[in-house]
Homo-oligomer: A and B are copies of this chain.
Amino acid sequence: MSKSELVLIVEDDPDLAEILDVHLQQEGFRTDIAIDGKVACEKAVHVQPNLILLDLMLPKLSGLEVLQFLKRRKDCTYIPTIIISAKDDENTIVEALNEGAEDYITKPCSPREMLARANAVMRRAALNQGAAEKVRKLDELEVNFTTHTASIEGKEIKLTRTEFDILWSFMKDNNQVFTRKKLLQLIHGPGVHTVDRNIDVHVVSLRKKLGLYGKKIETVRGVGYRMSF
């Protein structure tokens, strides 16, 4: 029989975490706490919570980075996320919402409001099962995150997971330059360490597979790569 929803609290301040925890449990939710971004990513992947409460100011890995990583993993994309943030940090909030956060609350936060939003967000998430497809286009190159396919002029291009992830990053934030490290982080999350020249190899094969569109992946010398219109 199904159990009640599990909420993952990502918060480095133990007091606030405790408060959130208590209130959520009173409301009948199961809870889990992560005190930094790395643990948050691990737990999110592992326990597949129904909701994540994510503080943006975290040690090690910022909340935004956690969000970026999770929203790119197919098995975490659907987990709705509520941002917890200082009031004056509006830019970051906007960024987080753009990255796919569902809602936000500002510190100091009232438990009542938090609960209301948590319930609302989960309800919405349950609806969005067959949510809108995430698609990006560049002329005749089309990348579909939902189906994990890329095609040129309607013809499917067979990409490996890593190649796809890199391409999706490029297409999602067009024109943005990605450093090799950033790409590694987006692909692997925190904790895994590979040489960052490794990215070059993937970019090479991606370029090959994209044919003419491979030329759209620019090398930004000394910095990284980007894809541009």
Q: Which residues of B contact A224 (CB under 8 A)?
A: 74-75
* Cβ-based interface call for A194 (8 A): no
* Cβ-based interface call for A81 (8 A): no
Q: Are A179 and B75 in contact (CB under 8 A)?
A: yes
Q: How far is the CB of A79 from chain B (nearest CB, A)?
A: 10
Which residue of B has the minimal Cβ distance to A130? Answer: B173
Q: Which residues of B contact A65 (CB under 8 A)?
A: 2, 126
* Cβ-based interface call for A192 (8 A): yes
* Cβ-based interface call for A147 (8 A): yes
Q: Are A60 and B4 in contact (CB under 8 A)?
A: yes
Interface size class of A (residues with CB under 8 A): 35 or more
Q: Are A146 and B222 in contact (CB under 8 A)?
A: no
Which residue of B has the minimal Cβ distance to A69? Answer: B2
* Residues of A bordering B, CB below 8 Å: 1-6, 27-30, 36-38, 41-42, 45, 48, 50, 56-57, 59-62, 64-65, 68-69, 74-75, 78, 91-92, 95, 119, 122-123, 126-127, 129-130, 146-149, 160-162, 172-173, 175-177, 179-182, 185, 188-192, 220-224, 226, 228
**22 examples of A-B residue contacts, CB within 8 angstroms:** A1-B38, A1-B41, A1-B45, A2-B38, A4-B60, A5-B60, A28-B59, A28-B60, A30-B191, A48-B185, A50-B190, A59-B119, A64-B126, A68-B129, A75-B179, A75-B182, A130-B172, A130-B176, A146-B177, A148-B220, A160-B222, A162-B222
